Amino acid sequence: MHPLSIPFSRLGLAAGLVVVAMLLSRREALGLERELAVGALRAAVQLIVIGYVLLLLISHEHWASVALALAAMLGTAAVTAARRVEHGPSARVLAPRALVAIGAAALVALVPVFACIVRPSPWFDARYVVPIGGMMFSSAMNVVAQVFERIFAQAHAEAATVEQWLALGATPRQALASVVRAALRAAMIPTINGLVTVGLVALPGMMTGQILSGAAPEQAVRYQIVVMYQLVAVAAVAGALSAMFATRLLFTSRSQLRRRW
């Protein structure tokens, strides 16, 4: 069984779905028409480009080219996560820490799976490493961005309370504990919701793609289970590391809360 093809002549018809959103934005005076149009165009261009890049990686497979692709994805994810913070340090300060958090989370999820569960041959097989790696980077990016934004925003809003805890002898970690817990719980909720509703609300993208390409449903299900469990580890590790980095950045070496950056 081969998947149904979509010629470029029909692909343009899908743009009508974006037009619907633009019309609703105009009607409700949201002012998002330009962002929607640019976003839709960028998404199409980026996906077409990455499609040809994947074709090139698969047809001329080499570990160095696969590593370069993963590095580019990781760097983009780190910069994107660092740019979403309003009440914290600059992206230049946050980006290296986001890079570590996203990279470490992806390693925790990818290495055991490719070493013991999926075991592609060769180990750098682009058909497996690049798409699954991209999913891990994307998930970690969203978690890191959310944790950074929430911790810095809450610390800014509750600065007086945090300083009261410090004045009473609490350590920076103790003074910020409730803020960190709330940020981590919020960042984990989408992953937990995905676990408890998978197969009931929606069929995940990887599973759907494999079924459409003709893979046996039971094998598609097994792959999706592995990916879902990977995403849990990614969210936990990326969240914990980004929370640790945010806490350290919020306080000086004398345990004083930073109010300005």
Position 58 scores a pLDDT of 81
The candidate with the shortest Cα–Cα distance to 246, out of 258, 233, 234, 236, is 258
pTM of structure: 0.83
- Is the distance from CB of 143 to CB of 186 less than 8 angstroms? no
Task: Label residue 119 left, alpha or beta by phi (over 0 means left) and psi (-120 to 50 means alpha).
Answer: left
Q: Is the pLDDT of residue 157 over 80?
A: yes
pLDDT of residue 1: 55
Residue 198: beta bridge partners? 202
Residue bearing the bigger pLDDT, 205 or 163: 163
Q: pLDDT class for 212, splitting at 50, 70, 90?
A: low
How far is residue 202's CA from residue 94's CA, in Å, rounded to a whole number?
34
pLDDT in tens, 30-40: 999 999 999 99
Segment 99-142, tens digit of pLDDT:
999 999 999 999 999 989 988 888 888 888 988 999 999 999 99
Instruction: Give Rg (Cα) of the chain.
Output: 21
Task: Answer whether residue 211 shows pLDDT above 80.
Answer: no
Q: How confident is the model at residue 176, as a pLDDT?
A: 92
Percent of the chain with pLDDT over 90: 51
Kindly state the tokens that stand for 126. Answer: 């682009």
pLDDT band of residue 60 (cuts 50, 70, 90) is confident
pLDDT of residue 3: 61
C-beta separation of 198 from 228 below 8 A = yes
Whole-angstrom Cα distance, residue 117 to residue 59? 24
Residue 206 pLDDT: 67
Q: Provide long-range contacts, Cβ within 8 A and 24+ apart, for 71-80.
A: 73/133, 73/134, 73/137, 74/99, 74/102, 74/103, 74/106, 74/137, 75/99, 77/102, 77/137, 77/138, 77/140, 77/141, 78/102, 78/103, 78/141, 80/141, 80/145
Tokens standing for 216? Answer: 């046996």
| pLDDT (0 to 100) of residue 203 | 64
Domain boundaries, the chain: 1-60, 62-250
User: In angstroms, rounded to a whole number, what is the distance separating the alpha carbons of residues 51 and 42?
Assistant: 14
pLDDT at 242 over 70: yes
**Coil, strand or helix: which one is 202?**
strand
Give the count of alpha carbons within 13 A of 106, CB side only. Answer: 28
> What are the pLDDT digits (tens) for 177-202?
999 999 999 999 999 988 888 776 66
Query: Given pLDDT bands bounded at 50, 70 and 90, which one contains residue 219?
Result: confident
